[in-house]
Amino acid sequence: MTTLKTGDKAPNFSGFDQSGTSHKLADYKGKKLVVFFYPKASTPGCTTEACDLRDNYARFQANNYALLGVSADSAKAQAKFIEKYDLPFPLLADEDKSVIQAFGVWGPKKFMGREYDGIHRTTFVIDENGIIEEVISDVKTKAHAAQILK
């Protein structure tokens, strides 16, 4: 699981969003970047989290934040998620899990007594110079914006 912590340099990631647009860490220099990892598009917890971020998007913009969601869903699934819930930020379709693994959020999980490997819901707040300001591993899906915008 994630060994990244506050003060570490963020991984120099690169991936494609729902529209095939490339995103990499360098694209966000000079902005604060919130990279939020979620298990699966359009599932209840992930929808609640994404909609909370959407509903507070103007506050993020006013504070010089960019938002970037990441899951292992296909670009098509990410596009549907954005369309259905009117999400104003890009979602990386990290099907090869390169970004997920770079941030160390892939690992063993338990659900209803069953163990499997999956994405751990984790958010990284990265400063204007690419340094991790905060790692949020206990994400409150209904109040996630408040956890970030203290």
Task: Walk along the chain (150 residues) in steps of 10 and give the mean pLDDT of each run.
Answer: 88 97 96 97 96 98 97 98 98 97 93 89 97 96 96
Q: Contact 99/13 with Cβ under 8 angstroms? A: yes
Active-site choice (4, 25, 41, 46):
46
- Determine the angle formed by the axes of helices 75-85 and 44-55, rounding to 10 degrees: 60
Angle, alpha carbons 98-142-42 (nearest 5°): 50
Distance of CA 19 to the CA centre of its chain: 17
pLDDT at 41: 96
Q: What is the pLDDT of residue 110?
A: 84
Convert the pLDDT of each residue in 58-69 to its tens digit: 999 999 999 999
- Cα torsion angle, 68, 41, 148, 133, sign: negative
The reply to whether 46 belongs to the active site is: yes
Q: What is the pTM of this model?
A: 0.95
Rounded to whole angstroms, the Cα distance separating 74 from 123 reads 20
What is the separation of C-alpha 106 from the centre of its chain, rounded to a whole number of angstroms?
A: 13
> Do the beta carbons of residue 62 and residue 32 sit within 8 Å?
no
Q: Report the alpha-carbon distance of residue 107 to residue 64 in Å, rounded.
A: 32
Greatest Cα pair distance in the chain: 44
Q: Are 71 and 46 in contact (CB under 8 A)?
A: yes
